[in-house]
Amino acid sequence: MNKLKTLLLFVVVCFVVLISGQNVQAQKIESDSVYTPIKIKEHSPHKATIYSAIFPGLGQIYNRKYWKLPILYGGIGVTLYAIGWNSTQYNDYKNGYIDLTKYLEYKNQPEGGTIEEPSSKRYEKLIGDFDFVNSTAREDDWYKTRLKNGKDKYKHDRDLSYIILVGVYVLNIIDATVDAHFTNFNINDDLSMTVQPKMNYSPVSGNTLGLSCRINF
């Protein structure tokens, strides 16, 4: 039984010496090798920020994230279209409201008043050819309120579109800056494992020989 333990201990020691010898040889080869450091140009988050602030999309080009350009310019294009559409509608309803207000002032003036009938009737483009000559006061107020609500609605949507456009511009800068920071973030995939013999003591079994395994990453 003692011979078996001795043989097993001998095998373990040989295995440990073999592994240790391979590690020493690998370290020697690594120490004898001559490495020429390669200077890598650092990616600048400051430049990415400045480029995106000057013109949206330049920061993404600097970061080589070309696939983001269609998304960025698509968002800008949709927002600009919304600004143009809402601005046109706002101007139409505003002009119609102004013309209808002037016409109702002419219509409701006392007999012998000096207000002349306005020639501009741009409200007809929005509500059709309605007969305001014989309309009631309730109908006049309803159409006037309708034009005012339309004017306020499209003004609100236009202003909101401007805010969204500013948000897209700011997000373009933030995206370029964060992307540039991640470009400089280095992740090393190299792993190393070291196996060494280790002696443990126990009051019951006495000294025992074992292996210590350490992984570096």
Sign of CA dihedral 168, 169, 174, 177: positive
3-state secondary structure 74-97: HHHHHHHHHHHHHHHHHHHHHHHH
Q: How many domains does the chain have?
A: 1
The answer to whether residue 13 sits within a structural domain is: no
Task: Tell me the pLDDT of the chain (217 aa) as tens digits.
Answer: 444 444 445 444 444 443 344 344 444 444 444 555 555 567 899 999 999 999 999 999 999 999 999 999 999 999 999 999 999 999 999 999 999 999 999 999 988 888 898 999 999 999 988 888 889 999 999 999 999 999 999 999 999 999 999 999 999 999 999 999 888 655 555 556 565 666 666 666 666 666 666 666 5
The answer to whether residue 98 sits within a structural domain is: yes
The answer to whether residue 119 sits within a structural domain is: yes
The answer to whether residue 118 sits within a structural domain is: yes
pTM, entire model? 0.64
The answer to whether residue 126 sits within a structural domain is: yes
- pLDDT at site 153: 97
The answer to whether residue 214 sits within a structural domain is: no
- pLDDT at site 7: 42
For 175, the domain range is 45-183
The answer to whether residue 63 sits within a structural domain is: yes
Contact 150, 126 (CB under 8 A): yes
The answer to whether residue 33 sits within a structural domain is: no
- pLDDT at site 133: 86
